Amino acid sequence: MEDRNMIRKERAILALEDGTVYRGYAFGHRGETVGEVVFNTSMTGYQEIMTDPSYNGQIVTITYPHVGNYGVAIYDMESNKPYVRGFISREFSGEYSNYRAQQSLESFMQQYGVVSIQGIDTRALVRRLRTGGVVKGVIAHRSYTHPEDPYGEFTPAEEQVYVQRALGHQDIDGHDMTREVTTALPYAFPTLRQGKRVVLMDFGIKHTIIERLAEVGIEPIVVPAHTTPAQIMALQPHGLFLSNGPGDPAPLEYAHKTAWELMGLLPTFGICLGHQILGLAAGGRTFKMKFGHRGGNQPVKNLLTGNVEITSQNHGYAVDIDSIPNGAFVATHVNLNDGTLEGMAHSRYPVFSVQYHPEASPGPHDSRYLFDRFIEEIDAFDGGNGSPVAKAAAGRLGI
């Protein structure tokens, strides 16, 4: 039975490239959008998800049925704007109650142009994605194409036009998505105390990651994704951080080269896309997962301690640890749901990485110890400003 609260809402559709069409209602910015349709199992954190640059190019389905009830707060932004191509929910709330919030979710979406759909069976959609894998899709609002009749239904012929539009959209595979999200210029993150200078390569970094690094005594300097090894070493850093980011890591050959040339010269920590870049830099392979890991409830086993951590994740690609030659990296963490690699460490150098998000925004805090581990690696390393290792690296890189 149709929800009576939805009857007078403007119509919208979600058309998938396989021909499936879901009929629902418009929410957020009125328009059309196309992207890769994925799902996230988090119960809260919709604002952090929308503003995470790792979702660039994707339409996100939230499995939790009620979204928007606590509004939007400026301090929960993970970047300067939303990067999702679209948003899907069973029901969006037009009202909110939260003393921290400055605006409603719909006004936020309208402000930043986020096209959304509600009122569809998200359980059926998620089962479709889990069974067949992620697909490309289009969200279209009838009020955008038929402003004279926003409450009418799309015709079958119109729906098929959007199916074809989804089918013809460029795949994320093989496409460098970081160019659309990385910073244009380097910048320093202000801290209240002097610490270890670390260069953060920005492939789509989240604000909370920078804040967590600063909390453990690091002076972060964020640089564009295309920054060269010579430019990085000219900053005389004590460490290197490879950030999260969107899409397929394979096309980022410039980043693989930089990570390879700096391997062993600086203590290095990689998260998510940064983890995948390290695997490729060492000669390994990555592969696209059927539907990926996205949510705040992924169980990961730490092979070094035997502990199980509940983690926050957002990725559609994974590293094949067995493909890395000469045992350069060893597995440190695995996913307990499907056995995929979740963390690794270099067998000789102070270089390690995880596939998940230890900054946990949103999500549990089980893995925040990794930021402390990074500063410990930096303190123990004979590197940094004026050290023999840094001088040798500068000489090798022609600085």
Using only the alpha carbons of the chain, give its radius of gyration: 22
Residue 337 is assigned to a ligand binding site: no
Contact 165, 138 (CB under 8 A): yes
Q: Does residue 219 carry a catalytic annotation?
A: no
Checking 173-176 for CB contacts under 8 A at 24+ apart, the result is 173/248, 173/288, 174/248, 174/250, 174/251, 175/57, 175/247, 175/248, 175/251, 176/247, 176/248, 176/251, 176/252
Active-site residue identified among 309, 342, 357, 377: 357
Q: Output the six-digit token pair for 109.
A: 């979406």
Is 359 one of the catalytic residues?
yes
Beta strand segments in 122-225, E: 135-141, 187-188, 196-202, 218-224
Q: Is 54 marked as a binding-site residue?
A: yes
Measured distance CA(82)–CA(53) in Å, rounded: 8
Residue 90 CA to residue 121 CA, distance in Å, equals 6
Contacts of 338 (CB under 8 A, 6+ apart): none
Residues ≥6 apart with Cβ < 8 Å to 288: 173, 248, 316, 317
Q: Is 119 annotated as a binding residue?
A: no
Q: Active site residue: 272, 309, 342, 377, which one?
A: 272
Residue 353: count of CB within 10 angstroms of its CB: 27
The reply to whether omega before 224 is within 30° of 0 (cis) is no
Determine whether the annotation assigns residue 160 to a binding site.
no
- What residues contact residue 2 under an 8 Å CB cut-off, 6+ apart? none
Q: Which of 10, 78, 309, 359 is catalytic?
A: 359
Beta carbons of 38 and 59 less than 8 angstroms apart: yes
Query: Would the annotation count 276 as a binding residue?
Result: yes
Neighbours of 169 (CB within 10 A): 17
28 annotated among ligand-binding-site residues? no
Asked if residue 94 belongs to a known ligand binding site, the reply is no
Rounded Cα gap, residues 162 and 260, in angstroms: 43
Query: β-strands 91-92, 66-67: how paired?
Result: parallel
Tell whether 353 is in a known binding site.
no
Annotated binding site: 54, 245, 247, 273, 276, 314, 316-317
Catalytic residues: 272, 357, 359
Binding-site entries for L-glutamine: 54, 245, 247, 273, 276, 314, 316-317
